[in-house]
Chain A
Amino acid sequence: MPQVLLVEDEKKLLDSLRRGLSDEGFEVLTATRGEEAYYLATTRPVDAVVLDVMLPGCDGFQVLGDLRKNGFVRPILMLTARDAIEDRVYGLDRGADDYLVKPFAFAELVARLRALLRRDVGSRELHLRAADLEVDLVARRVVRAGIEIELTGREFQLLEFLLRHRDAVVTREMIARDVWHEPAGVLTNVIDVYVNQLRKKIEGPELQQLIHTVRGVGYALRSGK
């Protein structure tokens, strides 16, 4: 069970994040102050840190810098309320692995955390699979229940993205950014249409439903029964 250190001074947010991450199968340590975070990160076997920038006393960037100086190599994900480019660059320069702008979708936090934890171990898979759907990323072939399916470039990218996050919820923001490389905004409707299009192609009346809509959040590709 991966252990995550969660640093956030807003008690309510900290509490709901802790509960959510526990439900998602993380072991969660929490801290509300920079000094405390530094202490826990250096004394406990922490696999990843979720670090808020705005902290009382010693701020997030300071903790980040101190940890990296001290040879802390585990992934650190920064949470920032200001989405100024400078903030992001500053954080990444100082050794953050990723950042999320508040307010963020919890699903996105989970997805990114998983991605960060996986990065250390897993290599890029070239074949993705969910139930009876198989995707060959090299040949760009999609096969469902033995039948080959033609997809457009964008549909293929969308499917690949959903498969990489299989069994997890992805938000429209995540899809917009990672598949279209655009901020979400106006693409919300577009994404819905694309997902429906993809559904029509890879699903059928006799086949198991793979792509599920999670109302108010986004989509999930579920491989299980």
Chain B
Amino acid sequence: MRRLSIRWRLTVWNTLAVAVLLVVCGLLVYAMLRQAMYKQVDRLLESQFEELREDRQMAADYETRIPHWVQEFKEHVNVFAVVYDSRGQVFARTHELAKESVPSNPNSEPAEPRLATQQLAIIGPQRTLTARLSASRQEFTVVLMAPLSDVEANLARVRTVLVTALPVSLALAGAIGYWLSRKALAPIERLRAQTDKITAERLDQRLPIENPDDELGRLTQTINQMIARLERSFVEIRRFTADASHELRTPLAVLRTEVEVAMGKSLDENAQRNLLASVLEECQRLTSLTDQLLTLSRDDAGMTQYASERIDLSSLVAAVVETMTLLAEAKQQTLAFRGSENARITGDPGRLRRVFYNLLDNAIKFTPQEGRIEVNVVSRDNSMNVTVRDTGIGIPREHLPRVFDRFYRVDKARSRDEGGTGLGLSIVQTIVIAHGGTVEISSEPDHGTTCIVTLSQTDN
């Protein structure tokens, strides 16, 4: 079944709620009214019987007093009366009462007056009061009858009113509900139309906020924040695509030029070898570039499976430092390492080694001859810090926020000549974040750069 729109659903629910309310109220009012009306009749009957019982002359002269009262009741309050003697014979009754309408003798009546509703012939529904009356050793049973026809007629009128009012009210409730929900939903519809207009090309636009404190205002703010995030990632994607195509085109351009130039002239064997070697080098660069891009996009897509092994971070870093020592020595740099006891973490050893290879590679690359590089593993409140500090050329302040961006290079020409792809720090960050850690970089131009990798420690 197709779902109704929110507007119709609200209307239906609203109408249903009103219907239930109206029915409950109507029933309650009707019941109370009916009870009140019966009570009135009962009180009348009781007061009449009370008068009869308190008649002082009754004991002396019941033979005339009872018919007198019977007639009184009829004339004054339109109450029929039938009085039975102790043998069950009708002793007196209202003249106007047809014979067929006389109720049968209620035997063994209780001492207390009893009220009931009876359906009698001709005169219809009657409220009856049956009670005992003693007069001069004689026991009588008195039945007083008040017609319920007026009461019933009034109640019937009330019922009619209620029954006709219900559908009318419901229709009204429905109409009001529909109008209200439309009014309430109109801003949402407006919001939808405005959001619709914000396409990929117009992400710099924001939705207007009418009232920042109401629900819609908050929703609009949330949408605006989402658009802002979208805008940022669009900008990043555009930049990344531009950078990536630049990075891929550069080696292709070199390849193409080298080969084209070579085709144009005859080369001796040595020149040929040089040319081919250069071609191969560009191929290498393209290969490692695509490999790294693949690594990063795998990670973006969450397709990378990270191993989860218990590792001694100190010995892992020590092994990387040992491998890189020769590289530093080739530049007469000092590479110092200080480990830490109990540096247990959980992670992927291969990928973590890559983190430190990349960081050390950068440190060695960007530190001049005879510089100093320190690597320290320090345990600090349940986490391990690995600090790589160099005395290199440093990174200008304005570049710091972007050094983790893909293909971002501080000194483009220089870094590419050193064989960098501009993806090293991105990969570092990706791997560290995947391990639930953080990587921070701080630098002072001409004095050096410090990189701190923080990973959470594993308890023993």
- Are B419 and A188 in contact, CB atoms less than 8 angstroms apart? yes
Chain B at the A interface: mostly helix, strand, loop or mixed? helix
Give the size of the chain B interface in residues (CB under 8 angstroms).
Answer: 30
- Are B305 and A186 in contact, CB atoms less than 8 angstroms apart? no
Binds B, one of A55-63, A71-79, A190-198: A190-198
Judged by a CB distance under 8 angstroms, whether B350 is at the interface is yes
- Are B419 and A189 in contact, CB atoms less than 8 angstroms apart? yes
- Are B280 and A190 in contact, CB atoms less than 8 angstroms apart? no
Q: Given A103-B287, A185-B354, A186-B424 in contact, is the A193-B279 Cβ separation under 8 Å?
A: no
Q: Given A85-B305, A103-B287, A189-B361 in contact, is the A216-B323 Cβ separation under 8 Å?
A: no
Across-interface contacts of B288 in A (CB, < 8 A): 184-185
Judged by a CB distance under 8 angstroms, whether B223 is at the interface is no
The smallest C-beta distance from B105 to any residue of chain A, in angstroms, reads 102
Across-interface contacts of B216 in A (CB, < 8 A): none
Q: In the complex, A193→B365 CA distance in Å?
A: 14
Interface residues of B in 297-311 (CB under 8 A from A): 305
Contact residue among A103, A180, A197 (Cβ-Cβ distance under 8 Å from B323): A180
- Are B327 and A193 in contact, CB atoms less than 8 angstroms apart? yes
Per-residue CB contact flags for chain A residues 167-201 toward chain B (1 = under 8 Å, else 0) read 00000000000001011111111100110110000
Q: In the complex, A215→B279 CA distance in Å?
A: 10
Across-interface contacts of A133 in B (CB, < 8 A): none
Interface residues of B (CB under 8 A from A): 273-274, 276-281, 283-284, 287-288, 291-292, 294, 305, 323-324, 326-327, 329-330, 350, 353-354, 357-358, 361, 419, 424
Give the size of the chain A interface in residues (CB under 8 angstroms).
Answer: 21
Across-interface contacts of A154 in B (CB, < 8 A): 323
Across-interface contacts of A182 in B (CB, < 8 A): 350, 353-354, 357
Q: In the complex, A190→B330 CA distance in Å?
A: 10
Closest B residue to A189 by beta carbon equals B327
Judged by a CB distance under 8 angstroms, whether A36 is at the interface is no
Judged by a CB distance under 8 angstroms, whether A217 is at the interface is yes
Closest A residue to B364 by beta carbon equals A189
- 6 A-B contacts (beta carbon < 8 Å): A83-B291, A186-B361, A193-B330, A215-B277, A215-B280, A216-B280
- Are B278 and A216 in contact, CB atoms less than 8 angstroms apart? yes
Contact residue among A186, A190, A216 (Cβ-Cβ distance under 8 Å from B284): A216
Q: Which of B274, B284, B294 has the most chain A CB atoms closer than 10 A to its own CB?
A: B284
Closest A residue to B359 by beta carbon equals A186
Across-interface contacts of A216 in B (CB, < 8 A): 276-281, 283-284
Q: Given A83-B294, A193-B330, A217-B280 in contact, is the A185-B357 Cβ separation under 8 Å?
A: yes
Q: Which of B283, B323, B324 has the most chain A CB atoms closer than 10 A to its own CB?
A: B323
Closest A residue to B324 by beta carbon equals A190
